[in-house]
Amino acid sequence: MFAGSGLNPFSAEALGGELAFQENKAPLLFFSLIQKTEDMRYLKEATIEDSPYTLAHVEMTACLRKNLADRFLGAISWLPFTWAMILCEWNLVQEKNITDRAFIHEVCELGICLT
């Protein structure tokens, strides 16, 4: 059983990401959190205290573990570079992938935190 499959963006809420829900589609971020390089300085601390969807996902997973103790519970998440493409404005990722590998590395590290 894969609890929360398709709910990967929920953890971006811990960085201040606003989730967009569309009918018959998995939720995505309403807008990219990183529009320019300077935006990274605001995304160092991730906290789920003010993240209702993330907290609900954690609670749902805990209930499944308790009620389905005899089942294998799997978790899936995006890889760090996929997180970079989700968190960043697409043209910024393309540009920085060629010109600023340290920036891409920093964004990917942020993705690891969200995984």
pTM above 0.75, yes or no: no
Q: Tell me the β-bridge partners of 20.
A: 28
pLDDT 10s digits, 35-48: 988 888 887 677 78
**What is the chain's alpha carbon radius of gyration, rounded to the nearest angstrom?**
15
Residues 9 and 76: their CA atoms lie apart, in Å, by: 11
pLDDT tops 90 at residue 99? yes
Q: Which residues pair with 91 in a beta bridge?
A: none
C-alpha atoms less than 13 angstroms from C-alpha of 5 in its C-beta half-sphere = 4
Contact 61, 73 (CB under 8 A): yes
Per-residue pLDDT, 14: 85
| Angstrom distance (rounded) from CA 98 to CA 108 | 15
Closest C-alpha to 45, from 112, 115, 110 = 110
H/E segment holding residue 19 = strand 19-20
CA neighbours closer than 13 Å in the CB half-sphere of residue 52: 2
- pLDDT for 45-98, tens place per residue? 777 888 898 888 889 888 888 888 887 777 677 788 888 888 898 899 889 989
